[in-house]
Amino acid sequence: MIRRKIEKRIKAWIDGSNKALLISGARQVGKTYTIRQCLHDSSADFLEINLIENPEIIPLIEKSQSVDDLVINISAVTNYIFKPHKSIIFIDEVQESADIVTRIKFWVDDGRFKFVLSGSLLGIELQNLRSAPVGYIHEIKMFPLDFEEFLRASKVTDETIFYLKKCFAEKKAVGDVINSKMMEHFRRFLVVGGMPDAVREYIQTGNISVVTEIQSNIIELYKKDFTKYEAKEKKLKLISVYDLVPSELLKQNKRFSFADIKKGLKFERVESSFLWLSAAGVTITTYNATEPRVSLKQNKKSSFFKLYLSDVGLLTCQYGRSMKASILAGDDKVNLGGVYENAVAQALYCHGFDSYYSSRSIGELDFLIEENFHVVPVEVKSGKDYTIHSAISKVVSNPEYEVECAYILANCDINVVDKYIYMPVYMCDFFRDDADLPVLTL
């Protein structure tokens, strides 16, 4: 069974919160399965309603002016017996009826039942959730499995993960044996990614061909959603932008070029498409920062950015068999810069960082993040020459930027040289609060 970190937060809500809970995220990241599993694990008494599978329930809910109406209308089409102060009502695919959100305040105020909602950001209707009454809905965003979750699914022990985090925190070498094994897991993660169905197939059978088929189906599902939720003209732009991401990441500077969509195309004509894809959770946008200074957001240049896919496995799926074989074999002759960068962008994003990249005036830096009120440059290297980093050296050596340290993520072990911290690339997953360190009884 694949376990997710988010389960701890869902179970805390089940045990103690009176607010409604909203789990949002892109399709196929495991929202429904995880909520259902948490409810079962907690022995909760719950009713699950999927608004896509049961569209006939939508008007019944929308006509419910009170909780009494809700109980009468839903019990008319289900066999569920509502139990005040015990029942949890789980409404899945809530984007199909944004009107539910306008009523949640009154349902929560009633106090007889608890409500958990789940929805995909692939519907612009879900944007209405951002206007939900403050204090009545607690939202948690869900993402594909991160590398740590992938390791646990791969039967890597808590002790090993604890050791890796300790090495990261103390900046000490992991050691050849463990580091080599973790790099092998990371290469597999680059191919499999973090979509639960793909990970489950990999764990159960190891059949990468079937994993690829699952990933291809997810990509097609996303494109069908573009069709479902958007007008024809915008749908075509969305598909064009999404399809271009893999090729754009193969370029040297990896910055997205509007001319690759259509020659002479202006940013203003497609800006809404980029924003839509990011809001939908299917892409990650890293904007240009003109200077590596706090705050990076104030130095953001919106019309220059890099675009990554929300799951690195969906990216490598589109590169074909040869690329996957090269990754799994650890072939250092193949340029994996874009693939490595996508994995790092994914890790930073799902762990709460707003990441940026540098402008040409100071050299091309892959990522800039803020930590402890300082800018931290992060360079990603997929080749052997990871100690050569002129752009990052230029920033670190400039006293105006007050850079205290810089990370170089590569195929290496941990090594600290002055302000430069060299780390194995998989440790991008540990750039976050370590409050979730496993507790070991020794």
Same domain, 317 and 395: yes
What is the rounded CA–CA span in Å between residue 147 and residue 206?
Answer: 17
pLDDT of residue 441: 35
Same domain, 128 and 250: no
134: pLDDT confidence band, cut at 50, 70 and 90? low
In a domain, 330, yes or no: yes
Same domain, 353 and 390: yes
- How many domains does the chain contain in total? 2
Strand order of the sheet with strand 20-25?
Answer: 45-50, 87-92, 114-120, 20-25, 137-141
For 114-128, write each residue's pLDDT tens digit. 999 998 864 445 554
User: DSSP character for 250?
Assistant: T
Same domain, 127 and 187: no
The CATH number assigned to the domain holding 82 equals 3.40.50.300
Higher pLDDT, 98 or 154: 154
| Sequence-separated (6 or more) residues with CB below 8 Å from residue 344 | 366, 367, 378, 380, 409, 425, 428
Same domain, 121 and 170: no
The helix (H) or strand (E) run that includes residue 340 is: helix 337-350
Average confidence (pLDDT) over 92-109:
86
67-71, 119-123, 311-315: the lowest-pLDDT one: 119-123
Same domain, 71 and 208: no
In a domain, 234, yes or no: yes
Q: What are phi and psi of 43, to 5 degrees?
A: 55, 35
Which residue, 19, 3, 95, 52, is CA-closest to 279? 95
Same domain, 130 and 165: no
In a 10 Å sphere around its CB, with 0-12 CB exposed, 13-18 middle and 19+ buried, how is residue 5 labelled? Answer: middle
In a 10 Å sphere around its CB, with 0-12 CB exposed, 13-18 middle and 19+ buried, how is residue 388 labelled? Answer: exposed
For 165-206, write each residue's pLDDT tens digit. 999 999 999 999 999 999 999 999 999 999 999 999 999 999
In a domain, 441, yes or no: no
For 319-358, write each residue's pLDDT tens digit. 999 999 999 999 888 889 999 999 999 999 999 999 999 8
126-130, 141-145, 174-178, 278-282: the lowest-pLDDT one: 126-130
**Last residue of one domain, picked from the residues 141, 162, 185:** 141
Same domain, 128 and 185: no
Per-residue pLDDT for 434 more than 90? no
What is the rounded CA–CA span in Å between residue 110 and residue 72?
Answer: 15
pTM (2 d.p.): 0.92
Same domain, 302 and 416: yes
**Is the CA virtual torsion 232, 346, 153, 336 positive or negative?**
positive
Same domain, 154 and 136: no
**Last residue of one domain, picked from the residues 141, 162, 184:** 141
In a domain, 214, yes or no: yes
What is the rounded CA–CA span in Å between residue 30 and residue 19?
Answer: 22
Same domain, 81 and 174: no
Per-residue pLDDT for 89 more than 70? yes
In a domain, 1, yes or no: no
In a domain, 191, yes or no: yes
**Last residue of one domain, picked from the residues 90, 121, 141:** 141
Average confidence (pLDDT) over 354-379:
87
User: What one-letter code names the amino acid at 80?
Assistant: Y
Cis peptide upstream of residue 295 (ω within 30 degrees of 0): yes
In a domain, 442, yes or no: no
In a domain, 98, yes or no: yes
| Sequence-separated (6 or more) residues with CB below 8 Å from residue 376 | 368, 369, 370, 403, 404, 405, 406, 407
Which residue, 145, 143, 147, is CA-closest to 2? 145
Same domain, 164 and 122: no
pLDDT of residue 229: 64
Domain that includes residue 366, residue range? 147-436
What is the rounded CA–CA span in Å between residue 158 and residue 20?
Answer: 32
131: pLDDT confidence band, cut at 50, 70 and 90? low
CB distance 348 to 428 below 8 Å: yes
Per-residue pLDDT for 212 more than 60? yes
Share the mean pLDDT of the chain: 89
